[in-house]
């Protein structure tokens, strides 16, 4: 990525198969152990995530697929520390996320995690540029405006910097959300359907940005997607259904 100085000295990718037994170490970006999530619904208690375990090496690219309602967004939220599991543990790098309080999780997220929500979650009262500047300001970045502008230009939205979210199309909002997630150069970038609202050409340029981050800074990518082209570029495809991991396919990515 041009014009963005690495915030930190990122480790380059070291890919290890998901099933290799391993302790939490500096080669592991993410680890989840027996994650379950139970919610109360009008129909009673509902288990929406059921005993999910996985581990992701630093720099690895993971695609999570599965039908609507399979639990993909729920899993992503737990791995990123946005929500807590009913049972089970999550480690992000050497830190056990599930042992931290809300402030601790927020501090870790601010420095290490980028998240692209399925429904974008842009702040409506801020312009596209201000939305992208926000995580930089929270991280006390030296040049938030310039760096955010460069990130917007990278997703083809330099000319929309002053637009508020209501003045952007769905695909444009998605690209602002992606710029906001990657601008801090997170250790792990989670994206929930990052190409779901985009035409093929824009979708491919967004995927290129994510994979360029991975190549240049070793950013670990955890992507929920139905996009086969995207999944094929990943090191591992996790297939989910009914709150469980059905298969984990390690592959030679493009």
Ligand X SMILES: Nc1ncnc2c1ncn2[C@@H]1O[C@H](COP(=O)(O)OP(=O)(O)OP(=O)(O)O)[C@@H](O)[C@H]1O
| Neighbouring C-beta atoms of residue 137, cutoff 10 Å | 12
Residue 147 or 195 with smaller CB distance to ligand X: 195
**Measured between alpha carbons, how far is 92 from 113 in angstroms, rounded to an integer?**
9
Residue 71 or 186 with smaller CB distance to Mg ion: 71
Q: Does 73 interact with Mg ion (rule: CB under 5 A)?
A: yes
**Measured between alpha carbons, how far is 231 from 224 in angstroms, rounded to an integer?**
9
- Sheet containing 44-57: which strands, arranged edge to edge? 44-57, 28-41, 87-92, 95-96
Q: Which of 59, 71, 88, 203 binds ligand X (CB under 6 A)?
A: 71
- Residues 42-61 interacting with Mg ion (rule: CB under 5 A): none
Q: Which of 30, 54, 63, 70 binds ligand X (CB under 6 A)?
A: 70
Binding segment toward ligand X, per CB under 6 A, in 65-73, 91-99, 144-152, 204-212: 65-73
Instruction: Detail the DSSP E strand segments found in 98-235.
Output: 113-116, 188-192, 220-224
- Residues 20-39 interacting with ligand X (rule: CB under 6 A): 39
The answer to whether 152 and 163 are in contact (CB under 8 A) is: no
Q: Does 225 interact with ligand X (rule: CB under 6 A)?
A: no
Q: Does 246 interact with ligand X (rule: CB under 6 A)?
A: no
Residue 69 or 104 with smaller CB distance to Mg ion: 69
Q: Which of 3, 6, 69, 229 binds ligand X (CB under 6 A)?
A: 69
Residue 67 or 104 with smaller CB distance to Mg ion: 67
The answer to whether 95 and 187 are in contact (CB under 8 A) is: no
- Residues 118-137 interacting with ligand X (rule: CB under 6 A): 118
Tell me the closest approach of the beta carbon of residue 223 to ligand X, in angstroms: 13
**Measured between alpha carbons, how far is 216 from 18 in angstroms, rounded to an integer?**
22
Nearest one of 237, 231, 235 to 249, comparing CA atoms: 237
**Measured between alpha carbons, how far is 148 from 9 in angstroms, rounded to an integer?**
20
Q: Does 41 interact with ligand X (rule: CB under 6 A)?
A: yes
Q: Does 225 interact with Mg ion (rule: CB under 5 A)?
A: no
Nearest one of 249, 240, 244 to 65, comparing CA atoms: 240
Q: Which residues pair with 35 in a beta bridge?
A: 52
Q: Which of 65, 73, 154, 219 binds ligand X (CB under 6 A)?
A: 73
Residues of the shown chain interacting with ligand X in the complex, contacts defined by CB under 6 A: 39, 41, 46, 48, 66, 68-74, 118
For Mg ion, the binding residues (CB under 5 A) are 73
């Amino acid at each position: 990525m041009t014009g963005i100085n690495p915030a930190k000295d990122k480790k380059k990718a070291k890919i290890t198969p998901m099933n290799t037994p391993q302790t939490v170490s500096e080669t592991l970006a993410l680890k989840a152990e027996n994650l379950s999530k139970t919610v109360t619904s009008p129909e009673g208690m509902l288990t929406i995530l059921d005993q999910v375990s996985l581990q992701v090496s630093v720099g690895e690219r993971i695609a999570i697929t599965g039908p609507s309602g399979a639990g993909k967004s729920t899993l992503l939220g737990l791995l990123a520390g946005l929500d807590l599991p009913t049972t089970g543990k999550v480690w992000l790098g050497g830190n056990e996320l599930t042992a931290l309080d809300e402030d601790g999780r927020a501090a870790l997220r601010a420095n290490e995690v980028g998240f692209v929500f399925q429904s974008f979650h842009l702040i409506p009262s801020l312009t596209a540029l201000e939305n992208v500047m926000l995580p930089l300001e929270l991280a006390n970045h030296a040049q938030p405006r310039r760096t955010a502008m460069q990130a917007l230009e990278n997703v083809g939205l330099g000319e929309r910097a002053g637009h508020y979210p209501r003045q952007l199309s769905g695909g444009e909002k998605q690209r602002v959300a992606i710029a906001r997630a990657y601008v801090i150069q997170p250790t792990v970038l989670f994206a929930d359907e990052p190409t779901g609202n985009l035409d093929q050409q824009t979708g491919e340029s967004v995927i290129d940005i994510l994979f360029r981050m991975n190549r240049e800074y070793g950013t670990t990518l955890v992507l929920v997607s139905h996009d086969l082209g995207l999944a094929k570029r990943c090191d591992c495809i996790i297939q989910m259904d009914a709150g469980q991991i059905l298969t984990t396919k390690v592959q030679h990515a493009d």
